[in-house]
Structure 1
Amino acid sequence: MYEATFAIVDSSAYARPTEGTDCRVELWCNDHADLLYVAGSAVEALLSQVEEDIGIENRIRGDGDAIVITSSCLKRHETTYIERYLESHDCLLLPPLRYENGAKHCRILALESASLTALYGDLVADGFAIDVRSKREIGAPSQPSPLVTLDDVLPALTARQREVLTLAVERGYYDLPRATTTEALGDELGISRRAAEDHLRRAERKLITALVSYLY
């Protein structure tokens, strides 16, 4: 069995608003409506676009994220989606679909490596712009969730959050005892202590929230 991840340039109502932002959309399709998980610093602007293009039936807003039920399914508004190619190549689409950086990220499962190659060839021939992010053989399961990859677990951090978190690790902020302070981190990055702490807390919250469900 083989799994591949394709990043497909996409102009849909879910991909387009993520371009140039740190936002991401995870989609579970239910034919008549979509269930979305939306996260990032520009969630409200993204939801406004979804409301305009697809319609929103209900939403639950969090701190930097949201769960959304749309009024209709994205497929009713699009003509160029890849699902119709899957059956002819004996491939399966593994939910959720993920939209970020203006692209749709699809995890695809096939019994044979050649099926993924043929699927890719047909999509490219029909004008899809595809970046193959990964392709691997799946052997005997060694953990309860053999299809989970780091891409699926790790959340999207903003560039500044990554910068502050990386510097904090490098300077020993998480050592015991701590080798630096948030004030020193802020000084090195040219931002205030309060801003450095805010970026760290937001990055930590995203990472801990994403990883905690895999501790059991």
Structure 2
Amino acid sequence: MRQVTFETTYPPEAAHPIHRRLADEGPATRADVLIWGPTADVTALVWFDGEPSAVEEVLDAVDSATGTQLVAADDGTYAFVRQSEYELPDDALEAVAGSRVAFVPPLSFRASGVARFEAVGEPAAVSEFYGDLDAAFDTAVVRVREFRRWPEPARLTDRQRQALEAAVAVGYYDVDRSGSVTDVAAELDCAPSTAGELLRRAESTVLTAFVGES
């Protein structure tokens, strides 16, 4: 099976009310729909990159919202939003309803007008869904990879993993750094240049994998 990351650009008149408000250059610029249900009349969980007051302003644009609850956390605000309808364009809803793929959260609305999301399915089913959605809205394929039941961990060598563990132990990654590469080298019983190289390679592997999954 394939797991495909898509980006769809909606024109302003077709965008969801939350998406249109994010594009207005307000204090909130991103909304990640984390949990939603199969019908409109359920509570969705959405994370915004803004303070509760900014999120209240964004949600005021959602006429279908029948109830909201806000919780500030994780450098933003979680919103529990109950709606009477999705308020997404009919063409998008029809493409989703008629598809033979599953959708992996989050659905991320960006201030740029782009909606980013992932779909999982057999190659033919994913291609069919892509064709249907792209026929209605400008849609791009960002990434294609094999679907795995669990996210694939970064592929570190044993020595790279030991270097990271040693770095954490000596305080190398503390916010106020209390350990040095020399300390890591002492833990690993190797030269500082070797320890530095191990850390750089391990960091490159871990961060590249993290950004690719974000």
1:16 to 17, 20, 27: 20
Q: Distance in 2 between matches of 1:60 and 1:24?
A: 13
Alignment of 1:34-45 (within 5 A): 34-41=43-50, 44-45=53-54
Contact 2:51 2:72 in 1 (8 A): no
Deviations 1:12-48 (A, max 9, x none): 1232233355433324223213423323246533432
Question: 2:104 corresponds to which letter in structure 1?
Answer: L
Q: Does residue 119 of structure 1 match 2:122?
A: no
Q: Distance in 2 between matches of 1:114 and 1:177?
A: 52
2:90 alignment counterpart: 80
Matched, 1:26 2:30: no
Deviation readout 1:134-189 (Å, 9 max, x if unpaired): 111225x5xxx23899xxxxxxxxxxxxxxxxxxxxxxx757359xxxxxxxxxxx
- Percent identity, aligned pairs only, is 15
Unpaired runs of 5+ residues, structure 2, are 155-175, 182-209
Length, aligned pairs only: 151
Write the deviation string for residues 119-145 of structure 1: whole angstroms up to 9, x where unpaired.
21222222x111211111225x5xxx2
User: Could you tell me the TM-score, scaled by structure 2's length?
Assistant: 0.56
CA shift at 1:109, angstroms?
Answer: 0.7
Matches of 1:27 and 1:39, distance apart in 2:
11
1:50 equivalent in alignment to 2:54: no
1:131 aligns with 2:140: yes
SS of residue in 2 equivalent to 1:15: helix
Q: Any gaps of 5 or more consecutive residues in structure 1?
A: 150-172, 179-210, 212-216
Contact 1:34 1:73 in 2 (8 A): no
DSSP-derived class of the 2:60 partner: helix
**For 1:43 and 1:147, how far apart are their aligned partners in 2?**
34
Q: Is the 8 A contact 1:23 1:43 kept in 2?
A: no
Letter in 2 for 1:146: P
Match for 1:176 among 179, 185, 189? Answer: 179
Q: Which residue of 2 aligns with 1:70?
A: 81
Q: CA RMSD in A?
A: 3.5
Return closer, same or farther for 1:73/1:105 CA change in 2, 3 Å cut-off. farther
Q: Deviations over 1:64-95 (max 9, x none)?
A: 422222231452x3333634324544211223
8 A Cα contact 2:44 2:80, kept in partner:
yes
CA contact (8 A) 1:37 1:65 kept: no
Q: Secondary structure at the match of 2:83?
A: coil
Tell me the amino acid that sits aligned with residue 9 of structure 1: T
What is the 5 A alignment of 1:102-113? 102-111=113-122, 113=123
Q: What amino acid is aligned across from residue 4 of structure 2 in structure 1?
A: A
Partner of 1:92: 102
Match of 2:6 in 1: 6
Amino acid at match of 2:117: C
Match of 1:14, SS state, is helix
Deviations 1:182-211 (A, max 9, x none): xxxxxxxxxxxxxxxxxxxxxxxxxxxxx9
